[in-house]
Structures are given as C-alpha cells and as structure tokens.
Amino acid sequence: MVQSHAEDVDGYLAEVADPDRLTALVRIRELCLSELGGYEEAMAYGMPTYRRPGTDPEIAFANQKQYISLYLMRPDVREAFGDRLAGHDMGKGCLRFRRTEKVDFDLVRDLLKATAEQPGEPC
C-alpha cells in the first residue's frame, strides 16, 4: 500500500484489498486496543499509531507492498525481546511479516504488553 491518506484507522483498513491481510491487520489492531489501555489511536505517517496522551507514538502497524509491519518505537522493548525477535525479519525499528500465516500474534501481544507496562522513550 502506498502511504495512506485515510483520516482514521477504519478508513485505513477499508483500503486493504487482500482479505488475508485485512484479517491479520484487524487482529493486530484488536491487540493494540486491548493491550494498550489508555493509549490514543490515531493516523500518523500514513499508518495507524498508538501513543500515550501527549507523547510520540510508541507502536504503529502498516500494510506494506511485500509485508505487514509492526513498528516498535521503544528501543528498550526491542532489546528486552532480543531473544524472541531473533530469527524474525527485523528492520531498525520494525518487525516484518511477509506472509499472513506467519504473523506471531502471541509475540505481538507480548510486545504490546511490555510497551504498556511502563513509560519509555520512543525513538
């Protein structure tokens, strides 16, 4: 997907044509909403983002051309999960899933829980 101009996350998800990807993205959103209590959901940088009120985003996800990305903008969380993230396709701050059946929702949930557990400095 080219950078979205959707005004909200529902609009963003409505742009997803592939039903398997849509299912995975909806599940990631559901996890964000359930695990990131007190966070604000918004669109920023053309993708859904989650942040504590008054701070920069700590989590985002995106439907890219070749994969689904989960952006982990907290270096402390990425470092704490180094062992579990090893072997996954990682960019500097994003976890990429090239196939929807490979999305590790348990890992995503644990990363979100760790993010929400205490404030940290997003990069």
On whether residue 111 sits in a domain, the answer given is yes
Does a structural domain hold residue 37?
yes
With respect to residue 73, please indicate whether it lies within any of the assigned structural domains. Answer: yes
Q: Residue 21 belongs to what domain range?
A: 9-117
pLDDT at 99: 94
Residue 43: which CATH number? 3.90.1150.200
Confidence of residue 2 (pLDDT cuts 50, 70, 90): low
4 falls within a domain:
no
Q: Is residue 104 part of a domain?
A: yes
In this predicted structure, the answer to whether residue 3 has a pLDDT above a threshold of 80 is no
Examine residue 29 and state whether it is found in any structural domain, yes or no: yes
Torsion of CA 110, 94, 1, 54, to 10 degrees: 80
Classify residue 33: in a domain, yes or no: yes
Domain membership of residue 123 (yes or no) is no
Q: What residues have CB less than 8 Å from 116, skipping those under 6 apart?
A: 35, 36, 37, 38, 39
Q: How many domains does the chain have?
A: 1
Say if pTM beats, i.e. exceeds, 0.85: yes
**pLDDT bucket at 20, cuts 50 / 70 / 90:** very high
